[in-house]
Amino acid sequence: MRQSKTFTVSLLLMCLASPLAVVAQSGSLVSEMSDLAWAGEVDKAHDLLEARRVDEEQPTPEWLAAVSWMARGASFAKRWELAEQYAGEAYEGSLELMKERPLDAERFLPTALGAGIEVLGHTYDAQGDRARAVTFLGSARQEFAGTSIETRIQKNFLLLSLEGERFPALEVDDYLGIEPPTPDDLKGKVVVFFFWAHWCPDCKRQEPILTALHDEYSDQGLVIVGPTQLYGFVSRGQNATPEEELAYLNGDYTAQFPIPPFMSVPISTSNFLNFGVSTTPTLVLVDRDGIVQRYNPGDLSHEELAALIEPLLQ
């Protein structure tokens, strides 16, 4: 009787603890899968994920986020069949969950759906069907407009469609530094558009590289424009109204991180949405005819940028 009672109590404690354990395990699995994806450990990630798989009628958002990292890891390694399999699982599973909850009501659901869409688009392109990829991403962009993943989808849409197209005029709600150039001002120029954020350390490392390139090539027609947007906060993450953030950018921020005198900084949220700037910095290179030659989410070294700029100056 004592043994039976002990067993019953133990079972009760396990049942009470299991929801917390499942949550902890799920969150931990997402982190583990992310680490393995960035490390290029595709087979190890696959084995870990499948060892943790539990047959459930409906997967959790955390599980789908872990699956989406499996898809991303496979895409990094260009293992497209595996990438498509897991991206499809993350995508379809997310759509199923969204029948009963909004996308942005969950922490992990935007991660799962955004990555699923991203990897499926790039998989279709890698399989030689760019038209299908662009159509899929364009449809997803419309379907999820106004959500937290809209900019991410736009970025991936532009990665496959912007190069070779005419650069559209920027919106200017406000600006820092010198007055932004008009499209007519930029005719016949080679332009680097440097989309940046005041909180972004990679942007601060990119700026001296752009200054050096301007010093080297401005007499040959190189122009650098630095669009940014307001984020609703200032230093140390302190919330701020648009007026307070503008005052911060024009005051304390530029006192510590001066805007290069040659660079205009148009400010508009629309530009970041239109150009899919979910990664800062994002660099866009435009030739003398106003055609986009490179759309690059992420930073570039002096050598990489010079190699892209010099042919456009010829």
The per-residue pLDDT for range 226-268, each reduced to its tens digit, is 999 999 999 989 999 999 999 999 999 999 999 999 999 999 9
Look up residue 188 and give its two tokens.
């016949």
* Residue in the block written with tokens 């039976």: 4
Nearest to 267 by CA among 246, 292, 297: 246
Query: What integer is the mean pLDDT of 263-283?
Result: 96
CATH of the domain at 197: 3.40.30.10
pLDDT band (50, 70, 90) for residue 58: confident
pTM, full prediction: 0.82
Considering only the C-alpha atoms of the chain, give the largest distance between any 2 of them, rounded to a whole number of Å: 92
pLDDT value of position 55 = 82
Residue 184 and residue 156 share a domain: no
The enclosing domain of 22 has a CATH number of: 1.25.40.10
- My answer on whether 232 and 296 are in the same domain is yes
pLDDT one-digit tens code per residue, 134-149: 999 999 999 999 999 9
Residue 27: the pLDDT is 58
Q: For helices 201-217 and 302-313, give the axis angle rounded to 10 degrees.
A: 40
Report how far Cα 244 is from the mean position of its chain's Cα atoms.
Answer: 27
pLDDT of residue 285: 98
Check whether residue 19 and residue 76 sit in a common domain: yes
Domain count, the chain: 2
Residue with tokens 């994806």: 37
Q: What is the extent of the structural domain holding 139? A: 15-161
228 and 261 in a single domain? The answer is yes
The lowest-confidence range among 23-37, 147-161, 292-306 is 23-37
